[in-house]
């Protein structure tokens, strides 16, 4: 309104705004569009104003916030081939008050998918002189909807005492917690066969080799 008044050469209280247009009260033919006013914020603004329309505010919390999550995975392993299949994934996250639940669920779903990729298929391989072999998405796999398991999402809400509305971060939560859940589920299934550990990613070949190394044919 102040910029519009400056352009229209009237007092700020004499300016009206409606539908993207600033006009002078009682003189509707004297008009400046919102685009003209925005341009003037950088080119023709009052002396007592700074250039620009940007607004910056810094929030300095008194402490950090920590999201929480629990991930449970059930799998089925074929001991003859090393192939394993995810039967069920349950994820319960607590990121405090959810500002946009749809975005939060999208972040968690994406994190669970990437967690599965890390646990099951993404392996960077090198030749004998150190050249990376997996340089394309045929060798370094990205899970599609075909490979990705179904997720069951739950939530608890513990508001952060350090945030104005009680929100916490959630961006990488599932990516951090879920790989171990997938791997631990496979190791748990193979414990009766003597397998105690397999380094990620748990490809079918690595699972089969671990079974053979444990002495089970």
Which has the higher per-residue pLDDT, 164 or 73?
A: 73
Residue 98 reports pLDDT greater than 60 = yes
pLDDT for 28:
84
Please tell me whether residues 172 and 76 are part of one structural domain: yes
Q: Are residues 30 and 118 in the same domain?
A: no
Can you give the pLDDT at residue 216?
Answer: 52
Looking at the structure of the chain, the number of domains it has is 2
Task: Tokens for 151, please give them.
Answer: 């997720």
Same domain, 39 and 73: no
Span 162-170, mean pLDDT?
A: 89
Residues 10-24: tens digit of each pLDDT: 998 999 998 899 999
Same domain flag for 98 and 17: no
Give mean pLDDT, residues 135-145: 84
Whole-number Å distance between alpha carbons of 111 and 180? 13
Are both 108 and 181 inside the same structural domain?
yes
Strands (E), the chain: 15-18, 21-24, 27-33, 68-77, 84-94, 151-155
Q: Residue 204 pLDDT > 60, yes or no?
A: yes
In a domain, 59, yes or no: no
Asked whether residue 148 is domain-assigned, the answer is yes
Q: What is the mean pLDDT of residues 65-79?
A: 93
Residue 67 corresponds to which tokens in the numbers above? 């999201």
Please indicate, yes or no, whether residues 121 and 197 belong to a single structural domain of this protein. yes
Note whether residue 51 is domain-resident: no
- The answer to whether residue 146 is domain-embedded is yes
49 part of a folded domain:
no
Q: Give the confidence band of 181 by pLDDT, cuts at 50, 70, 90.
A: very high
Return the CATH number at 111.
Answer: 3.30.365.10
Q: Is residue 52 part of a domain?
A: no
Q: Are residues 95 and 24 in the same domain?
A: no
176 shares a domain with 102: yes
Same domain (yes/no): 85, 150:
yes
Q: What was the pLDDT predicted at 123?
A: 85
Cis ω on the peptide bond leading into residue 201 (within 30° of 0)?
yes
Residue 55 lies in a domain: no
77 and 13 co-located in one domain: no
- Quick one: 117 and 11 in the same domain? no
| Domain carrying residue 148 | 68-213
pLDDT value of position 217: 47
Q: Are residues 202 and 168 in the same domain?
A: yes
The answer to the question of residue 118 being in a domain is yes
* Per-residue model confidence as pLDDT tens digits over 100-118: 999 999 999 999 999 999 9
Torsion sign (Cα): 147, 152, 153, 156 = negative
On average, the pLDDT of the chain sits at 91
The predicted structure's pLDDT at residue 55: 82
């Amino acid at each position: 309104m102040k910029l519009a008044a400056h352009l229209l050469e009237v007092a700020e209280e004499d300016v009206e705004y409606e539908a993207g247009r600033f006009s002078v009260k009682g003189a509707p033919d004297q008009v400046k569009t919102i685009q003209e006013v925005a341009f003037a914020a950088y080119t023709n603004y009052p002396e007592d104003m700074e250039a620009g329309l940007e607004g910056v505010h810094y929030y300095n919390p008194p402490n950090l916030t920590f999201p929480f999550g629990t991930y449970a995975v059930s799998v089925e392993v074929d001991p003859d081939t090393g192939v394993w299949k995810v039967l069920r994934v349950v994820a319960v996250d607590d990121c405090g008050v959810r500002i946009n639940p749809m975005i939060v669920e999208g972040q968690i779903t994406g994190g669970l998918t990437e967690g599965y990729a890390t646990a099951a298929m993404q392996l960077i391989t090198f030749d004998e002189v150190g050249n990376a072999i997996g340089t394309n998405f045929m060798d370094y796999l990205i899970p599609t909807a075909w490979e990705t398991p179904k997720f069951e999402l739950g939530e608890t809400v513990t508001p952060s005492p350090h945030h104005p509305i009680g929100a916490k971060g959630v961006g990488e939560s599932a990516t951090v917690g879920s790989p171990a859940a997938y791997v631990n589920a496979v190791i748990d299934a193979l414990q009766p066969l003597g397998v105690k550990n397999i380094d990620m990613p748990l490809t079918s070949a690595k699972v089969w080799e671990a079974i053979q190394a444990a002495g089970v044919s």
